[in-house]
Amino acid sequence: MTSFIDKAEMARLTARMLLEIKAVNFEIDNPYKLASGLVSPSYIDCRQIISYPSIRSTLMDFLVATVQRNAGFAAFDSVAGGETGGIPYGAWMAERMGLPMQYVRKKPKGYGKNSQVEGVLHEGQRVLLAEDMTTDGGSKIKFVEAIRQAGGVCNHTALIFFYDIFPNTRENLLDHGITLHYLATWHDVLAEAKAGNYFDTATLNEVEKFFADPLGWSAAHGGISEVSK
């Protein structure tokens, strides 16, 4: 496993890897409309990672090291991936940590046993939720609640990328008893994009305005002006 390098350096390297594989997209003339209704000049596609073996391996080493450093080396009994983006990360983390794996559906299957958590989950099992990314943490809360309803104890979620531009996301997760572990944020990506000249200055300046006031920027470009609760 990769050694426990400095958190800031880990964030910088994660941002660089995301930029190098073009998982980071900045577009100010034709901004992206996200599922939430937010209009954004930035878009992160963490699904790109699964096609780059050396990068995904390094990132998984980083993520396991981050979780173990923050939560402990014997803090979990299994790892669960969230449908769909979190499933490969759950599998890779479980393999590295020598733990069983489950995956969590967005909603119960609707037939058969009507399961929402797939795999063997024992009552009281301490489960780490693995995901690719989060914006405001809402989907993570739903996955955690499903694990808890199935009998698991889930108080931690680990992911590659955290937007970190919406207020109170960490606090909201903590209010639901969830600690967030992540490798990089939009602020890390912007800093590395500037340092490596990945985009022109005008694009970077406009993206920086969005990060400073995402809801205001979205409203000014035809998108939502508030995040639904």
- Fold assignment, 7-220: Rossmann fold (3.40.50)
Rounded to 5°, the CA angle 214-220-221 comes to 90
Q: Is the pLDDT of residue 1 over 70?
A: no
Residue 227's pLDDT is 66
Residue 33's pLDDT is 93
Tens of pLDDT, residue by residue over 137-193, are 899 999 999 999 999 999 999 999 999 999 889 999 999 999 999 999 999 999 999
Tens of pLDDT, residue by residue over 82-133, are 999 999 999 999 999 999 999 999 999 777 777 899 999 999 999 999 999 9
Q: Is the pLDDT of residue 73 over 80?
A: yes
CB atoms within 10 A of CB 197: 9
Residue 112's pLDDT is 74
DSSP letter at 86?
T
pTM of the predicted model, to two decimals?
A: 0.93
Cross-strand bridge partners of residue 163: none
Sign of the Cα torsion 226, 224, 170, 77 reads: positive
Task: Report the C-alpha gap between 66 and 89 in whole angstroms.
Answer: 14
Tokens (6 digits) for 55: 């990068």
Residue 229's pLDDT is 44
Phi-psi region of 103 (alpha: psi -120 to 50; beta: other; left: phi over 0): beta
DSSP letter at 120?
-
Domain definitions of the chain by residue range = 7-220
3 state SS of 190: helix
Residue 167's pLDDT is 87
